[in-house]
Amino acid sequence: MSQFELSKGGANHQKPEGKDDVMTTAQGAPVADDQNWLKAGARGPSLLEDHIAREKIFHFDHERIPERVVHARGYGVHGTFELTDPIPELTRAPVLAGEKGKKTPVFVRFSTVAGNKGSPDLARDVRGFAVKFYTDEGNWDIVGNNIPVFFIQDAIKFPDLIHAAKPAPDRGFPQAQTAHDNFWDFVSLSPESMNMIMWIMSDRTIPRSFRLMEGFGVHTFRLVNEKGEAKFVKFHWKPRLGMQSVIWNEALKINGMDPDFHRRDMWAAIDAGDFPQWDLGVQVFDQAFADAFEFDVLDATKIIPEEQVPVRIVGTMTLDANVDNFFAETEQVAFCTQNIVPGIDFTEDPLLQGRNFSYLDTQLKRLGGPNFTHIPINAPKCPVHHFQQDGHMAMQNPKGRANYEPNSWGAGDGAEANRGPRGCPMRGFTSAPVALEGAKVRERSETFADHYSQARQFYVSQSPVEQTHMANALTFELSKVGRMDIRKRMIGHLRHIDEGLARQVCEGIGLPEMPDKVPAARDPIADLPESPALSIIRNAPNSFKGRKLGIYIAEGADAGVVSALKDAAAKAGAMVEIIAPHVAGAKLSDGTMLEADEKIDGGPSVVYDAVAVVMSEASARRYDADKPSIDFVNDAFAHAKFVAYVPAVQPLFESAGVWKWMDEGFVDVSKPADAEAFIEKCAQLRFWDREAVKQD
């Protein structure tokens, strides 16, 4: 029986081995299908009457308090969205269709998915990228990630996915990582996850900074204009500073040195007035494109390549204010995918439909009651009128006698009488008039059955360096899996994506021979073209703006060189930190004392984008056996960073084992004029050629 037949419910015809093997609801009723939410047709909307799915999601949403079940480790920032290219022909939503230059307050929460509140920032994980727009017509939330696809196609599987990724229930570990049996067992039995697996094994899941990653709305939504005409849309956030990630070995060391690395980076940038910005882009397409597209636009495990539908930039978001209180704002903010405004509408994406139910239900548990919109961070900044009343922590209640609608009270019925608000067909939210037809079924549409084609497209679109990182990541993760059958099953999936990749991983974990391919529900498309937009390295910003240079100094460091490096970095829009053997700093060649930002063992090279080592020969000899100093140089070399130096540091570089391996990524800055040339090279961000060098 094919996997596609299983997803349609073919497994239901298999006789259970024993009475206890039949899955039931919490009420004990037998379950026929635990794979698909009840829908109006295979591609139709999910039905609220599905009591089995609702019970499952309901229980999952209320499993833990008060920490979020997912996205627990988050960081919030205030900002403003400015409309630069209004699109009234596509939507009636003023936030996107108003006057050019219109500004809307926003609150953004970045997060990791799998770890708890105390987990490290640089775990290999998807990053949440949720934006709350406080628009003139209510709050609009784009509850997205830094990856445009997801693991599953139907929301009924979300509890299973998260259970598999979280610490095992018997032992309570591992924390904030997917390198374990449960996760890989689940995804290896869920072929729909293969595209997402390629993304999470890429450098996208270890970003250098929140400021340096993309964001996506993930799902396909609809835009609806004043005429009621609807088109499909996908939302993109493009960072003005470009994308950048760290290397896995760096991530491990940063987590040990500074588990708050991303939080500290965002706080410091905003505190310094270096406000990060993202452009909001839309991919808009019609039903004709959707019908002709190789995949189903309702499938959240698929993207629409930018080469097929270009991203149109409509506005810019600037984050310019840190929170006043972490708990009141970052912890209490409540994002809901169902929070949309007139002019924006849902599609029948089954994952989105389930999220719309789940997120609202989650807030009830986390924030104690139905009045979480009374909390300032969640409260709309536009007028609010309704008859909702009472409940836990109600801050406002309707005034007057009428608390129901329709009512016949009015101004002439006494001072206390007020008939209250009424619906407005002209201004109010109306759904796009989408024709729906279909039998009530628990099945997955056949248009969702291709699980490998876009996974392959993503892989072949990466640069050779990124492909190597992906192979290494898969090898590392599967090496942490204890069961051989799970390892083999995963390689059987990888063979559908790329034989070379599968072979590298197979050899990396030491299997004597390649496992057979896992049977595919649908044969993958082998000739999908590359999509260069999917690569981080191929879209490098060619700028050192917003990055950080670490200058390691010691007694006798050339004052002119240090000053020139600081000036050149500042001119490029980069930040500079001084590292020294002592936090008090060091006396430079001109006799001045330069205070340090970090002591050497608290400021390793892993936390900087490029480094410089400037000290006298006497100091270099003094510290050539100092382990933190050696690690500073050695790690910078190993992580393909650009390194500025003066010849006097040779003793330290020899002790670090890099002097004989110095390449074009090392720049002699003995003359102050050389500093600008070094910073220009740093615009490449990494000297990737170094990774290809085979060292003795």
Q: Which two tokens stand for residue 330?
A: 């970052």
Distance from C-alpha of 576 to C-alpha of 567, rounded to nearest angstrom: 9
290: enclosing H helix or E strand = helix 287-292
Distance from C-alpha of 541 to C-alpha of 162, rounded to nearest angstrom: 35
Q: Count other C-beta atoms under 10 Å from residue 27's C-beta.
A: 8
Contacts of 64 (CB under 8 A, 6+ apart): none
Q: Which two tokens stand for residue 116?
A: 């708890």
Burial class of 98 by CB neighbour count within 10 A (0 to 12, 13 to 18, 19+): middle
Distance from C-alpha of 499 to C-alpha of 515, rounded to nearest angstrom: 11
Give the SS3 label for residue 441.
strand
Determine phi and psi for 254, rounding to 5 degrees. -65, -40
Distance from C-alpha of 322 to C-alpha of 317, rounded to nearest angstrom: 15
CA distances from 674 to 334, 544, 608 (A): 51, 16, 20
Catalytic residue check, 397: no
Catalytic residue among 13, 36, 51, 71: 71
| Contact indicator for 383, 365 with CB cutoff of 8 Å | no
Catalytic residue among 36, 139, 145, 356: 145
Catalytic residue check, 78: no
Question: For residue 651, is the peptide bond before it cis, meaning its omega torsion is within 30 degrees of 0?
Answer: no
Q: Which two tokens stand for residue 235?
A: 């939302």
611: enclosing H helix or E strand = strand 610-614
| Contact indicator for 324, 27 with CB cutoff of 8 Å | no
- Enzyme catalytic residues: 71, 145
